[in-house]
Amino acid sequence: MSTMTMWLPMFSLWAFSNVYKQFRDPKSVRYATKPTTSPGYYPIVGSRRRRELLEHSLVVSTSVWAAYNDPVSAEIVKIGDTVGDTIRIGQTLSLDDAVTLIAKYCPRDFQRAALKYGFLYRGEELKLEDDPLSMARLLAPAPDLLMPDTYGTDGPQALQFFQNLETQLPTTVVRPSTGHIATSLYSDAQIWGSDVVSVWPLCSELTYLFPKAGRYIFNPNQSPDSKTFIPRHNYEIDQELDKALRRGTEVMFAAKSKDKLVEPAPFLACLSSNDAQLRQLLMTKFNDK
């Protein structure tokens, strides 16, 4: 028996027992590893949180074995409310499978707006050339709006803008540290990557913002560190998504859990060349509900 084979069950048991301890005695741990000032972390209290911890321990312990046999399969994200509602990051899907996931896990209000007014797009590198039957891929990139390497010629100014915006927005809504940007203007998405894809967040609830004036979230003539800057005056927050889809503006989005925690949203990226068929299939699913 190899050292790795001996180590894996021990780690799996440790992961389960550590979470089970919190399940039995939530007071034994004050917070979930990071301070409450960081978005996405909260006190471990309540019976629902105990159930979530127990479910998570099952996912952790099984994904450890998956990592041993297939390292990529351990990179899973939870997209629903049960242990089985997981999907591997980077997994490719046929159009029919993508429609099934979108219909089940994408917020219904988002689906309604996108089907009526137009899709949100990003430019990505899906790399589907070797898999002609795949038309979509699950992506869960880390937010990069606060990373210097994200920006080109406007780098220092753009970075400063989003750093300041981060401090101005409440932790209960999307912020640069948790959000991704998509656009409802196809031509803008073409600049971002070789594959223009429609974006379908998979989460219980979506939090988003977009500019009230203009098309872009970053405005070089607008400074979030100014005393006169008030986000709710400059951005629509969690309302009137249809305006953004009709006007061709950028939208920053993130996921909001049932516990109102804001975190990056995994999303299905579907090749835009299939927009017409995707719309037709989703309309059928949507109207059947």
Q: What pLDDT digit, counting tens, does each position of 134-193 carry?
A: 999 999 999 999 999 888 776 888 898 899 899 889 999 999 999 999 999 999 999 988
pTM summary value: 0.72
From 112, 105, 113, 108, select the one nearest 86 (Cα to Cα).
105
Q: Is the dihedral of CA 164, 168, 172, 174 positive or negative?
A: negative
Position with higher pLDDT, 152 vs 205: 205
* pLDDT at residue 114, as a whole number: 97
Does the structure show a pLDDT above 70 at 228?
Answer: no
Secondary structure class of 86 (helix, strand, coil): strand
Token match 């209290």: residue? 45
Confidence of residue 52 (pLDDT cuts 50, 70, 90): very low
* pLDDT at residue 80, as a whole number: 66
Task: Indicate the burial class of 99 (C-beta count within 10 angstroms; 0-12, 13-18, 19 or more).
Answer: buried
Q: Which helix (H) or strand (E) holds 112?
A: helix 108-117
Position with higher pLDDT, 224 vs 73: 224
Angle between helices 3-24 and 47-69 (to 10 degrees): 170
Q: What number of CA atoms fall less than 13 Å from residue 254's CA on the CB side?
A: 24
Confidence of residue 101 (pLDDT cuts 50, 70, 90): very high
| Percent of the chain residues topping a pLDDT of 70 | 69
DSSP class of 149: G
How crowded is residue 216: how many other Cβ atoms within 10 Å of its Cβ? 15
* pLDDT at residue 71, as a whole number: 37
| Percent of the chain residues topping a pLDDT of 90 | 49
Please report, to the nearest 10 degrees, the dihedral formed by the alpha carbons of residues 248, 39, 206, 185 taken in order.
10
Looking at every residue in the chain, the average pLDDT score rounds to 76
The radius of gyration of the chain's CA atoms, rounded to the nearest angstrom, is 20
| Per-position DSSP letters for 89-111, written without gaps between them | TT-EE-HHHHHHHHHHHS-HHHH
Does the structure show a pLDDT above 90 at 263?
Answer: yes
* pLDDT at residue 283, as a whole number: 95
The mean pLDDT value for 74-102 works out to: 81
Buried b (16+ CB within 10 A) or exposed e, 228-257: eeeeeebbbbeeebeebbebebbbbbbbbb
From 94, 75, 137, select the one nearest 269 (Cα to Cα).
137
Q: What is the 3-state secondary structure (H, E, C) of 21-69?
A: HHHHCHHHCCECCCCCCCCCCCECCCHHHHHHHHHHHHHHHHHHHHHHH
The mean pLDDT value for 225-232 works out to: 70
Does the structure show a pLDDT above 90 at 251?
Answer: yes
